[in-house]
A and B are shown apart, each in its own frame.
Chain A
Amino acid sequence: MTEIRATAASRLPRPRPAEATLPPSGLAGLKPEWSRLVEVAESGSSASHGWHLLDNGPQLDALGVIPVGTILCVHGNPTWSYLWRGLLAAATDAAQSGAPAWRVIAVDQLDMGFSARTGGFRPLARRVQDLGDLTDSLDLAGPVITLGHDWGGVVSLGWAVDHPELLAGVMLLNTAVHQPAGDKIPAPLRLALGRGILGPATVATPAFLATTLNLAHPPLSAEVKRGYSAPYLTGERRGGIGGFVADIPVAPGHESRAELDRIAEGVRVLAVPALLLWGPRDPIFSDRYLDDLVERMPHARVHRFEGAGHLLAEDADYAAAALLWLGDALEPGLLDSVHAETSRSRNGDLDKLDQRRGAPGALSAATSGLEAVAVTAPVSLVELVETAVSRAEPGAMTAPVSLVELVETAVSDVAPVSAAAPSSLVEPVEAADGGPAAAWQAAGTHPLWHYLDVLKDSDETALVDMQPAPRTVSWRLLSRRVRQIAAGLVHIGVKPGDRVSLLVPPSADLTAVLYACVRIGAIVVVADAGLGLPGLTRAVRGARPDFVIGAAPGLMAARALGWPGRKISVARFPAPMARLLSIEHTLAGLIQLGQARLESGDLLPVEPRPSDAAAVLFTSGSTGPAKGVVYTHGQLSAVSNALFVQYGVGVGTGLVAGFAPFALLGPALGARSVTPDMDVTAPKTLTATAVAAAVAAIDATVVFLSPAALVNVVATADALTPADHAALDGVQRFLSAGAPISESLLTQAAALMPGATAHTPYGMTEGLLMADITLDGIRAAAASLARPADAAAHDDESARLPETAVSTSSTSGAGAAAPAEGEQLSAVNPAGGVCVGGATATTRIRISALDARGASVGELTEEPDLTGEIVVSAPHVKDHYDRLWLTERASRRGAVVGERWHRTGDVGHLDGAGRLWVEGRMPHVIVTADGVTTPVGPEQRIETLPEVFRAAFVGVGPLGTQQQVAVIETVPPARRVHRAAEPLAAAVRAAVGSPVAAVLVVPGLPTDIRHNSKIDRSRLSRWATGILSGGKWVKP
């Protein structure tokens, strides 16, 4: 493509001028009353041009509402203002319903849409001036929020940079402001710019237009395509499309390069809130352009709509997101959302915004009302802190204190907690001043690498790998390796904040690499093979790693699926293979490099602070695409602390690490850990003998296993020798984590470790270890349910609930209060659920009651027997979702400023003894005309029938008038899908106790990929809807 010249416009046919016109009537979704034509004089010339624009101002006038501001929308190439019809409609509807009214002005850029064909070529600088000429002629007053897509994003940002006095915020959909000099522009554009292609592709034929319109997910309807094509029906009208493509500054000498660079740099000092909405399936503006924008506007809110692409405006509800964000910006209680953004504020994203405002040469303070409102949050935060300081007793605060703690103290009336208490419910936060050491001291937790420093001269065992042959690693060696790898990583260019994807099976290598990464402030990305390759690919791409450290399978997958990041291998490969896999370094090489750097006197970089991001973990994806969950160093340390407090894992503890997330924290706790001999991608391969060998290798007293592994351990117990049994006798605690397991499985496992207490925790990727229950607790809970059996209708069944229990922390209260039926549920429908025990020491659990529509709107409460969404708060709850602002916003429950409450998406209730009972997932709540039903209780009652192996209880039909449907696996399993025979259907209906429209039998229920135990009720509901409407008779 070297033949691409500085400006390609000269290769385009010279377009003929034409007047602006109104769009034809009848375009789908476009209201004729929005359209108007404006004649605008061109600055610096005697010419004037006609503009077509969409404007809901007259509609707002008719409604008699005064707009709070204007959203100025600029389309890209080859679309037109039609792109923004959804926002015009949504903003007008919102105004009509009494919400703040936003005037939306969406322009057709000159030579585009139904604006005039000017007969010339309009480079970027001219287009930015054109937009300014238009807003001048409209007498547009502030506050203005710009909104741009594609090339219109650049033009809108150019206007934003030039109009600080009007600007109150910027919103962008897939766009780019910077093309790195060395980088190739996206392939589709390179192609379009090719000699002999530009004109024919963009102007003479509708090829470029058609290609763009085919980028929608799902495909656009014919009528919407007609809408987009309406202004571009002939080659004469498509001149602007070619002009835009030609204006892409592919080379440094391009005439628009300087303007693009001016805008790109101007964006860096924009002192207004920003919202970036992104469709990752974009062949043109890929995630690297999002990275660039985030780097320029670190305070921006970002939401990536997984599955959406370049035409994000068609693929996702950007209008609702934009109005929600604007609503937050207007909200007087913005303080809440500032805190809801959590450590970003501590990390400084809003601080950064504040700094921009105060920085020398930064834009002058806002003259527009909105800007003042929108960006005063940091100011009011400071005011609040000052107020708090004036109130707080100086003696109470010994350690340097944080904004958040002060705010909480001031607002919540909670007695001041010692900042150093490890079990403090207040999130660990860094000191305002001082280095990392002071920050960690203030946080009250140790950094993850603490014991690697403390024990760096110890020859005691730190790690044992059981495969391929047992290999013992001392603290001294582990500590040295971590430092060597850390130095090596720094040397090859890994910087703090860089993301490193770890595709290494649990092993000493993984542990060393992980601690090396966190020590230098790199963010580790831990994706799970359990996501399946497509899920893993989405996860790794979405996490945009700068580096990938992997074993052979991971690197091959990375190569085959084009995962981003520079590749580092833990093993050596023959050179051709290494080249094929694009391997730049090996672990051994890194260690050598690092050793050399350390010997030459290099120091490791400054330690990360508690508030710095440490890791991205991925959710199971059982409820949609896997989400990246960001933990800070302080939060991961808090997870370690929770393990210590709950299970006594600490210095000197021997730990069998068969469950990855917790197992990796062994070294952080000073515990010695062993990875048993198993294929981690197939946990079912772990044998009882392998567990016994691992226990014997390090005199383990604590064993962590996954439920799938536990199944096989129990199944292979016959092979245990007396020596194996002797080793297992020494185990004091074992833990099955990751998914619910049955009491019988836990009982069988407990029999193998007779000296051990069996635990199973409740938690999620966003909050590991929220509650905990022992086997005894499970039995006590079952017993407590048996009590009211005499009184209520279905207790003969309840007494035999398979998975019910009481927590350890509330053993004293076990059985003290019989769980009554949830108030929201009818008397014939006891809530039921799986008892997961009491909250762990540093966790608080509350319930937000469901309303009649199944929404969790209730105040957070500990009131017993109230069914609602489970909401948790703990120092070890995740920091935020990665680039999922909408998801993050929805997951937050702001009760008290400074507290972080996370909506788990689970529904359940607390009982009188403080035990948590899980009744299902929020999206699985059934809302009939009679009220709300949670699925687990009915499922448990159905599962008491001898002919039923497993049941799923789902709703079909519209929420609010749903019908209840039972889908069951029978004993023995059915070979095909069928309606349950009359006696079974009658038994199921009797067991449930409320109307069941249909009982369907299936050979197998669909379960999520990672755990093979969580039933996919949403999918079953869709399937049952099809079957029960006379649809095709297929398997779920």
Chain B
Amino acid sequence: MRVLVTGASGFLGRAVAERISAAGHEVRTFQRRPSGLTGVEDVHGSITTPPDTPYAGLAYAVSGMDAVVHLAAKVSLTGDPAEFEAVNVGGTRTVLQASQQAGASRFVYVSSPSVAHAGSSIMGSDALPASPEQARGDYARTKARAELLALAADAPGFSVVAVRPHLVWGPGDTQLIDRIVDRARRGRLPLLGHGAALIDTTYVDNAASAIHAALDAAPTVHGQSYVITNGEPRPVAELLAGICGAAGVAAPAWRVPASAARAAGSIIEAIWRRRPGADEPPMTRFLAEQLSTAHWFDQRRTRADLAWTPVVSLDEGFARLATHYRAAR
């Protein structure tokens, strides 16, 4: 198969492109910066470039492709709502149209469990329909709308499937792991509540293999959404301790009541919106909710339909992370 992977300069995008390429497919990648991958054809450009722009990179990138894995998105806790809209919704619409026009037959949309998350605990539920009305924050809201757009484009000859990996992490992750380690090192990582909320995560290799599985299974599972996780929920404090332990920094020792963190998050978020900087705010309401309520999912349908199981366990992931940090020192 000839497969286009968008957003391949990102942490997960890179892993997906490598995985699919290693499986013997012909992979083309499309993103703003060089992906740094070998064995793939790198195309540079933006998904927010209007599709009718002459010589737009995207039009070239999708040409001749059998399948598209769409990861490119604005992933951030705060930022300009218009930008979220433009990248996540507008960009997805553009990629969908270009893919259809280019005659691709499979489309894997990489989404997020937050598209169906209303802020309360999730304990063992399967993927619920994406809900822009209930999703919290600009990121989740726009990803929800984009997922609905993608699934609406599912049609005979154009199989669309949405996968929602939850909290992807692993060596080289700058989004989640590096920030946690960085804050912990500076003593700025509190534990919210008692840190007992059970949270399931996804080791990056497992997320990549699941997306690959969804690509393979697209003709039979099209039109559906799947949450992807390791299937190993742990108390959030244990996860943080595992990550910090792997990086050789002290785990969070101080504790903030979850309700206070949520309130503080709202205030900080409001201030940051008026005074946007390069830095991420130390706490957002969304993050406070994420870290103080349970998030784990029923993986039975995912595993059965995609004929997929995660191969890297949580503990093995921590060990690989530790190796990575030791090598970096």
Contacts and interface: CB of A to CB of B under 8 A. Distances in A.
B198 A958 contact: no
Given A998-B196, A1030-B196, A1030-B258, A958 B300 contact: no
A573 interface: no
B293 A960 contact: no
A982 B300 contact: no
Contacts of A622: none
Contact of B232 (A957, A961, A982, A997): A997
A979 B300 contact: no
Interface stretch (B59-67, B212-220, B234-242): B234-242
B299 A961 contact: yes
A979 B238 contact: yes
Contact of A979 (B124, B195, B294, B298): B195
A963 B233 contact: yes
A1027 B196 contact: yes
B121 interface: yes
Interface in A953-1010: 956-958, 960-963, 978-979, 982, 985, 995, 997-998, 1000
A537 interface: no
A626 B200 CA distance: 39
Nearest to B292: A1030
Contact of A998 (B125, B193, B198, B293): B198
Contacts of A956: 123, 198
A347 interface: no
B295 to A, nearest CB: 9
B293 A1029 contact: yes
B108 to A, nearest CB: 24
Interface string B3-42: 0000000000000000000000000000000000000000
Q: Which of A961, A979, A998, A1000 has the most CB of B within 10 A?
A: A961
Contacts of A958: 123-125, 298
Contacts of B231: 929
B296 interface: yes
B207 interface: no
A40 to B, nearest CB: 47
Nearest to B120: A1029
B298 A997 contact: no
Nearest to A962: B124
A1033 interface: yes
Interface string A426-443: 000000000000000000
A264 to B, nearest CB: 52
B197 interface: yes
A1030 B124 contact: no
Q: Which of A956, A963, A998, A1030 has the most CB of B within 10 A?
A: A1030
B300 A961 contact: yes
B246 to A, nearest CB: 13
A1028 B294 contact: yes
A638 B123 CA distance: 49
Interface string B115-128: 00000010111000
A1013 interface: no
Contacts of B233: 963, 997
Nearest to B126: A961
Given A957-B123, A957-B124, A998-B196, A929 B300 contact: yes
Contact of B300 (A960, A963, A985): A960
Given A979-B237, A985-B238, A1030 B121 contact: yes
Contacts of B235: 979, 997-998, 1028
A995 B125 contact: no
Contacts of A979: 194-196, 235, 237-238
A984 to B, nearest CB: 12
Contact of A995 (B194, B232, B293, B300): B232
A978 B196 CA distance: 9
Given A956-B123, A1030-B293, A963 B196 contact: no
B121 A963 contact: no
Contacts of B194: 978-979, 1027, 1033
Contact of A1028 (B125, B198, B241, B258): B198
Interface in A929-949: 929
A582 interface: no
Determine the main DSSP class of A at the interface with B. loop
A1029 B293 CA distance: 5
Contacts of A1030: 121, 193, 196-197, 258, 292-294
A997 B294 CA distance: 12
Nearest to B242: A982
Interface string B121-153: 101110000000000000000000000000000
Contacts of B296: 957, 963, 997
Contacts of B294: 1028-1030
A970 B235 CA distance: 20
A841 to B, nearest CB: 46
A960 B123 CA distance: 12
A929 B299 contact: yes
Contacts of B232: 995, 997
A962 to B, nearest CB: 7
Contacts of B196: 979, 998, 1000, 1027-1028, 1030, 1033
Nearest to B121: A1029
Contacts of B241: 982
Interface in A38-85: none
Interface in A876-901: none
B110 to A, nearest CB: 23
A933 to B, nearest CB: 15
B124 A1028 contact: no
Nearest to A1025: B123
A1025 B293 CA distance: 11
Contacts of B124: 957-958, 961-963
B103 to A, nearest CB: 39
A1030 B299 CA distance: 21
Interface in B268-298: 292-294, 296, 298
Contacts of A1028: 123, 196-198, 235, 294
Interface string B184-200: 00000000011111100
Contacts of A1029: 121, 123, 197-198, 293-294
Contacts of B303: 929
A963 B121 CA distance: 15
B302 to A, nearest CB: 10
Interface string A1010-1036: 000000000000000101111101000
A1027 B300 CA distance: 24
B196 to A, nearest CB: 5
Nearest to B297: A961
Contacts of A960: 298, 300
A675 B198 CA distance: 53
Contacts of A997: 198, 232-235, 296
Contacts of A995: 232
A157 B51 CA distance: 76
Contacts of A985: 238
A998 B121 CA distance: 16
B245 to A, nearest CB: 8
A74 to B, nearest CB: 41
Contacts of B195: 979
Q: Which of B125, B194, B198, B238 has the most CB of A within 10 A?
A: B198
Q: Which of B197, B294, B299, B303 has the most CB of A within 10 A?
A: B294
Given A1000-B196, A1028-B123, 20 more contacts: A929-B231, A956-B123, A956-B198, A957-B124, A957-B296, A958-B123, A961-B299, A963-B233, A978-B194, A979-B194, A979-B238, A982-B241, A997-B233, A997-B234, A997-B296, A998-B196, A1025-B123, A1027-B194, A1028-B197, A1030-B193
What 6 pairs between A and B have smallest CB-CB spacing?
Answer: A957-B124, A1029-B121, A1030-B197, A1029-B294, A961-B298, A958-B124
15 contacts: A956-B123, A957-B124, A961-B298, A962-B124, A963-B233, A979-B195, A979-B196, A985-B238, A997-B233, A998-B235, A1028-B235, A1029-B197, A1031-B121, A1033-B193, A1033-B196
